[in-house]
Structure 1
Amino acid sequence: MISIDPVIYQQLCQTLSVNKIYLEETSGGSINKTFKLSANNRTLFCKVNSATNFPHLFKTEAAGLQLLNHAGPLRTPKVIGLLETHSFQILLLEWIERSTPNHTFWKSFGEGLAALHSHTQSLLGLETDNFMGSLPQKNKSATDWPTFFIQNRLEPLVQQCHSQQLLTTHHLLSFQKLYTYIPGIFNEQSPALLHGDLWSGNYLCAVDKQPVLIDPATYYGHPSIDLAMTTLFGGFDKAFYEAYHYHTPLPTNYKEQWKVCNLYPLLIHLLLFGKSYLSSIESTLSDFQ
């Protein structure tokens, strides 16, 4: 059994109404400690983090999973338990056995994402802020996508990167010019329910070859946010995009939309990991100068 803080261990036992649990540390936790938890012939996925470094991180993650689950077209792990104390937070989720994606998986994934994006509301954003990875994500409501995207996504990160000397004043001027183009780039679209952080590390292929969404940064926004993220680090099959397009045809300038949308995660990576991501940002900015 792996060593873990006795207080956390006791809290887990009390939550599950057992005397003993077994924990096996798993990979994939970049900012969290993650474990395969076994107790009384039951297996769960357990995430542990500081309650002070990332306040209510798991509360917002659980809410996002439940919002996606309520929408229905794509599976998410069931939320089993959520614990918060003054020093730590724990999220217990259904354990999902994995398998290797095939054509059926990718087709179902594309169809499911199109169906997820059909869940709309009148306002962009979300009632609460949440997290994109380890960074707080603002979800202040807006009625039009350009305003929301600039004010809640790009501008706060541009300012942070500039204050840390990761972007120059010239970059700031380039972003200001880009902002004038954004209203003409994006088609009118009812705010769609998004996963929000849909890169290749945030889905699973279950044993029945059905896709499972994990680690959401959920809000209502433009569908190109999710689709763009799938291309940022690769890993999504052609059948995924074909299935999505069959059910929800992509706009003619979708590649332009995706490139602009990916400025958001690229700025996050610039802020967190440094200037190796700057050239990709500059490439997009150069298209609008």
Structure 2
Amino acid sequence: MLLSESLYEALEASLKNLERPHSSIQSIGSVSGGDINRAYRIKTSTGDYFVKVNNDPLAASMFLAESNGLDILRNPLGAAHVPKTFLVGNARGEGFLLMEWIDTGNKHDAPQQEALGRLLASLHRRHADAYGLDHDNFIGPLPQNNGFSSDWTEFFIEQRLQKQLDMADQILDGTDLHKKFDRLFSRFADLYPCEPPSLLHGDLWSGNYLVDQLGTPVFIDPAVYYGNREVDIAMTKLFGGFSERFYDAYNETYPLQHGWEERVDLWNLYPLLVHLNLFGRSYLRAIQNNLKQYIGANS
């Protein structure tokens, strides 16, 4: 049995409570693609659903933050671009998030990439008065602090880079990375032009968007906050999966400032530090290489 008995019963009860009293589970299949959660497609007599499961003590909090993030994205983007969430629950220590199932199509063709670029640009046009969010959330399974700040340099250093550096203290033992980051911090404000706080997806790699069978792009697994929009753009470059038509369509809709390509590795220090904390020292070289561009090779 793919699901524990307690989780199976909790899901079946949840489906009946969703004004689907005659719904019954017909089959359950594993879904691949995630490193953190177990995921399943649930086929029922009234439709298909997607459920994510995790045994971590913080799982329910993580899933609640994810559900809240999707709600925040849905407001400016519309329901077609964000999956509906039905329930965050816990079944004897197994946290779960029940969502709508989306049948996916090809997301790499030019029309789909163009639509995705325009969609992200429209998201980034949603602005706030300060950087951050009114609640903390998660980046993957790691806590992400979002206390509001009017200063992007202060926010990105204190609530993004320094938090991850503190978490990685043991991994960094014996390296000079703390000193190198201190040198980066001393000149950080001079490395980028001002941008208003934009609503960000926050974890935008190629695995965190879908395209449905109508060709509509759909955002999933966000880590939302208001920040410099180049952070989202930079992360699309970290692991690839976005075509030139994506960037062209974005720039046609909401042009990026001159030199944005030169700042990609600056913003990607954050996800690289996250990956360092999640997966270990194999990410040290990439972090060192990124730092060299902004503090000098001999620093």
Establish whether TM, by shorter chain, passes 0.5: yes
Please give the per-residue CA displacement for 1:212-233, whole angstroms capped at 9, x wherever unaligned: 1111111111101110000000
CA shift for structure 1 position 51: 5.2
* Contact residue 79 and residue 93 of structure 1 kept, 8 A: yes
- d(CA) in 2 for partners of 1:266 and 1:30? 16
Partner in structure 2 of residue 238 of structure 1: 244
CA shift for structure 1 position 20: 3.6
What is the TM-score with the length of structure 1 in the denominator? 0.94
* Contact residue 225 and residue 261 of structure 1 kept, 8 A: yes
Residue of 105, 121, 124 corresponding to 1:117: 124
* Contact residue 166 and residue 271 of structure 1 kept, 8 A: no
Residue of 186, 189, 192 corresponding to 2:192: 186
Name the SS of the counterpart of 2:99 in structure 1.
strand
Q: Which amino acid aligns with 1:37?
A: I
- d(CA) in 2 for partners of 1:285 and 1:258? 12
Name the SS of the counterpart of 1:8 in structure 2.
helix
CA shift for structure 1 position 55: 4.8
Q: Are 1:267 and 2:247 matched, yes or no?
A: no
Partner in structure 2 of residue 143 of structure 1: 150
CA shift for structure 1 position 35: 0.3
Q: Are 1:220 and 2:226 matched, yes or no?
A: yes
What is the TM-score with the length of structure 2 in the denominator? 0.91
Residue of 193, 206, 215 corresponding to 1:209: 215
Residue of 63, 80, 89 corresponding to 2:68: 63
Partner in structure 1 of residue 100 of structure 2: 94
- d(CA) in 1 for partners of 2:278 and 2:13? 36
When residues 195 and 237 of structure 1 are mapped into structure 2, their CA distance, relative to the original with a 3 A threshold, is: same
Q: Percent identity?
A: 37
- d(CA) in 2 for partners of 1:81 and 1:160? 31
* Contact residue 196 and residue 217 of structure 1 kept, 8 A: yes
Count, aligned residues: 287
Partner in structure 1 of residue 115 of structure 2: 108
Q: Which amino acid aligns with 1:56?
A: S
Give 5+ residue unaligned stretches, structure 2.
17-22
* Contact residue 52 and residue 86 of structure 1 kept, 8 A: no
Partner in structure 2 of residue 82 of structure 1: 88
Give 5+ residue unaligned stretches, structure 1.
none
CA shift for structure 1 position 22: 2.1
| Structure 1: 4+ residue segments shifted above 4 A | none
* Contact residue 234 and residue 267 of structure 2 kept, 8 A: yes
Name the SS of the counterpart of 1:127 in structure 2.
coil
Please give the per-residue CA displacement for 1:97-131, whole angstroms capped at 9, x wherever unaligned: 11112211111111111110000110211111111
Q: Which amino acid aligns with 1:58?
A: F
Q: Which amino acid aligns with 2:71?
A: Q
Please give the per-residue CA displacement for 1:141-170, whole angstroms capped at 9, x wherever unaligned: 111111100000001111222x21335452
Partner in structure 2 of residue 9 of structure 1: 8
